[in-house]
Amino acid sequence: DQQVKQNSPSLSVQEGRISILNCDYTNSMFDYFLWYKKYPAEGPTFLISISSIKDKNEDGRFTVFLNKSAKHLSLHIVPSQPGDSAVYFCAGMYGGSQGNLIFGKGTKLSVKP
Amino acid sequence: EAQVTQNPRYLITVTGKKLTVTCSQNMNHEYMSWYRQDPGLGLRQIYYSMNVEVTDKGDVPEGYKVSRKEKRNFPLILESPSPNQTSLYFCASKTFGLAGRGGGYNEQFFGPGTRLTVL
């Protein structure tokens, strides 16, 4: 049972345009969602997160939107830069601070100059 | 520098030869975890530890062992590796206190990864 789904394995965007990465989840117990970014030959690094009681969180060029009724979240990157090219993982967690992360399969973003 | 380190970074071994991948963090984090990343499957949790001497199974624990004798170290042990354990392995840690850019206690810090090939 895949609790976190990233249905687009890849996404290609022109530099300067908006990148929208989508994530769906099935577990209504998730109380926190996180996005991680991963470059080749490196470990994932935290990007941005959102609590389930919020519907939006913004950090510079990155904004995450949460639609609880649709069990859907999205990561917006504006404007996209070539250095944003990486694999992006969406993750959900429940159980408070001691909860584990449940990751999606990832979306590979390519930003073309 | 706050970090999670893993050794070795690359390892090629043969079926049945016991191996250990070490993981160490210098952030005094209570929680540590091991993941494997496989093409098309994303990151899957193998084992995790809430604190010293407290470990529990993740989603794919078969064929693996862990121990947490010290807070900073969380080695992953493959007693009898098999080819289906060929994968990219990541160790991660987090604190239960308020820390991190994530607005609290939920951000996990990952190591650089260990690429394991079992022939």
Tokens linked to A65 = 């939107």
* pLDDT at residue B105 in the model: 54
Burial of A112 (0-12, 13-18, 19+ CB in 10 A): exposed
Q: What is the mean pLDDT of residues A35-47?
A: 95
* pLDDT at residue B98 in the model: 57
Residues 6 or more apart from B65 whose CB is under 8 A from it? B76, B77, B78, B79
Confidence of residue A89 (pLDDT cuts 50, 70, 90): very high
* Residue B40 C-alpha, separation from nearest chain A C-alpha, in angstroms: 6
Element (H, E) at B34: strand B31-38
Set of chain A residues whose Cβ sits within 8 Å of the Cβ of B46: none
* Residue A44 C-alpha, separation from nearest chain B C-alpha, in angstroms: 6
Set of chain A residues whose Cβ sits within 8 Å of the Cβ of B105: 97
Q: What is the mean pLDDT of residues A27-50?
A: 93
**DSSP letter string over B36-66?**
EEETTTEEEEEEEEEETTEEEE-S--TT-EE
**Are the Cβ atoms of B107 and A101 closer than 8 angstroms?**
no
* Residue A105 C-alpha, separation from nearest chain B C-alpha, in angstroms: 4
* pLDDT at residue B29 in the model: 92
* pLDDT at residue B97 in the model: 64
Candidates A39, A29, A47, A91; CA nearest to B100 is A47
Q: What is the mean pLDDT of residues A8-12?
A: 96
**DSSP letter string over A48-64?**
EEEETT-SEEEETTEEE
What is the dihedral sign for C-alpha A52, A57, A61, A65?
positive
* Nearest residue in chain A measured CA to CA from B42: A105
User: Which one has a higher pLDDT value, A34 or B106?
Assistant: A34
Q: Cβ distance B65 to B49 under 8 Å?
A: no
In this predicted model, what pLDDT tens digit does every residue of B44-79 receive, in sequence order? Answer: 999 999 999 999 999 999 999 999 999 999 999 999
* pLDDT at residue B95 in the model: 86
Q: Residue B99: is its pLDDT beyond 70?
A: no
Q: Which of A55-59, A67-71, A72-76, B97-101 has the lowest mean pLDDT?
A: B97-101
Segment 27-56 of chain A within 8 Å of chain B by CB:
32, 34, 36, 41-46, 48-49, 51
Set of chain A residues whose Cβ sits within 8 Å of the Cβ of B101: 46, 59
Q: Cβ distance B77 to B61 under 8 Å?
A: no
